[in-house]
Structure 1
Amino acid sequence: MSRIKAKRIGFRIDMTPMVDVAFLLLTFFMLTTKFRPPEVVKIDLPSSHSELKLPESDVLTVTVGGDNTFFMGVSSQQSRVKIFNAVVKPKLQAAGLSSVAVADSLKKFKLAENFRVGRDELDKFVVMARFADQKLRPVIRADADAGFDAVNHVIKVYKKANLLTFNLITVLEREAR
């Protein structure tokens, strides 16, 4: 006689714990993500064919805006503190600001990736950045509409500070189109 086969019973997977874990992970990543701060000035970079990548750290960036304004950025916070103490702090104290206001300005200055610099002050800031960190790689990030005179001024400031090799930040030609 043939044997009677038992009827197969389907199994059921409870998806509730997996949904909980998915939402926990989503919440975790939303809360721990650092958003990129808005740029101080919108820069439309010129195009080139070079594919050399710039390092993430030890970079001294001078940005030239389309209206020939200058912005400077240093990758490390320690260098920013030294620049603040050497150049900005004496100006704030001479203007009569209290020590609390100077300390608050230092906090904002440490967190700022780029800060506006006057044309005549650029050389002081570059020299102090070089004193703060000898390993800084000088970089020029100029808008495509920036005047030659402004970019040439940055090059002269770099030469005056004995920074004879520097990089120009551009966008790849195939990405520009």
Structure 2
Amino acid sequence: MGKVQVKKKSMFIDMTAMSDVTVLLLTFFMLTGNFIKKEPVQVVTPGSVSEIKIPETNILQILVEPSGKIFMSLDKQQDMAATLEAVGKEYGLTFTPEEIKKFSVFQTFGVPMKNMKQFLALPGEEQDKILKNYGIPCDSVDNQFKSWIRNARITNRDLRIAIKADQSTPYSVIKNVMSSLQDLKENRYNLITSLKKMSDE
């Protein structure tokens, strides 16, 4: 006897619902996720059991790398622009609207004022490459760090200061930063750490 062949029917699966769910999930994660700031140097923060979170807005972050170079970031473009203009006036520099606009979109900055105009004239890719070689001066001869902090505070009184340093950064470097803040009567600030699990005992 011959075999009876069953005619195969083409199956159609409607993927519209799956596509809708995928788009909704993607939108959800994009809206609720926090983007990591692009930083010129990578630091490994020390561990801590504290779970206190710093606010997401009105933050002035100070980034200190192991050799002592200091970088800063402000979370609002208008604060960035106003602070640059104010610090520029202290050092006898006037910035064009184009230079101010370029600076205001920086995620992190840290260039001595004498190099600022030259730095702003560079293309974005070049800026990213060389930023790690600079750092804001914070010594007894030329403490531009104080000027940035003071003018940022004048621009936005609600700023919260947060220090992010590498765990291998020498204490003398951190002490220098803290002393500069104390000179400005800035005695309240957060230290950014990574969460360390408490051992069960």
Name the TM tier (shorter chain).
Answer: 0.7 to 0.9
- Unaligned residue ranges in structure 1 (runs of 5+): 1-11, 95-100
Query: Is the contact made by 1:47 and 1:171 (CA closer than 8 Å) also made in structure 2?
Result: yes
The whole-number CA distance in structure 1 between the counterparts of 2:149 and 2:45 is 22
Select which of 156, 161, 164 maps to 2:179: 156
Who is 1:118 aligned against?
137
Who is 1:82 aligned against?
82
Query: Residues 82-138 of structure 1, C-alpha deviation per residue, up to 9 Å, x if partnerless?
Result: 1111114775847xxxxxx83332222111121112222100000001101111111
Query: Is the contact made by 1:48 and 1:170 (CA closer than 8 Å) also made in structure 2?
Result: yes
- 1:140 partner letter: I
Aligned length: 158
Within the alignment, does 1:133 sit opposite 2:132 as a pair? no
Query: Is the contact made by 2:46 and 2:167 (CA closer than 8 Å) also made in structure 1?
Result: yes
Select which of 75, 87, 96 maps to 1:102: 96
The whole-number CA distance in structure 2 between the counterparts of 1:79 and 1:89 is 15
Query: Residues 58-93 of structure 1, C-alpha deviation per residue, up to 9 Å, x if partnerless?
Result: 111111111210001112222111111111477584
User: Computing the radius of gyration over CA atoms, which structure comes out larger, 1 or 2?
Assistant: 1
- 2:49 partner letter: H
What does 1:5-154 correspond to in 2, within 5 Å? 14-18=13-17, 21=20, 36-88=36-88, 93=93, 102-116=96-110, 117-119=136-138, 120-154=143-177
- 1:113 partner letter: Q
- Unaligned residue ranges in structure 2 (runs of 5+): 1-10, 111-135
Query: Is the contact made by 2:61 and 2:162 (CA closer than 8 Å) also made in structure 1?
Result: yes
Task: Give the secondary-structure state (helix, strand or coil) at the position aligned to 2:152.
Answer: helix
